Amino acid sequence: MYILKCANDTFYVGSTKNLIRRFKEHQNASGANHTKRYGPVELVYFEIYQRIDFAYYREKQIQGWTRKKKQALINGEYTDLEIAAKKMFRMKQ
């Protein structure tokens, strides 16, 4: 699972079995439509999983997060991440 920062300052979250190959595809505008449109991209975060389905699950989880929560994860600001998660939980109740 990985997070890219696009030239327009948006984040793209994806998962792959080969991060190096996939990153090159995004850089060469042969990746996802979002990165084709808003490239070039910068790899800002990644996690490694033994199985692609675990990575895909994590990708979908993070895609549902707010920008602030994604930024906290990228920056390793776990206290801010916990606070953002609690706020989201309260909003859903």
pLDDT one-digit tens code per residue, 76-87: 997 766 666 666
> Any residues with CB less than 8 A from the CB of 40 and at least 6 apart, and which?
6, 7, 27
90 confidence band (pLDDT: 50, 70, 90): low
**H/E element, 12:** strand 11-14
Q: What's 8's domain CATH number?
A: 3.40.1440
pLDDT of residue 83: 63
Domain count, the chain: 1
Nearest-CA neighbor of 6 among 48, 36, 28?
Answer: 36
Say what the pTM is. 0.85
Say which amino acid occupies 3: I
Q: What percent of the chain has pLDDT over 90?
A: 76
24 confidence band (pLDDT: 50, 70, 90): very high
Domain range holding 87?
2-92
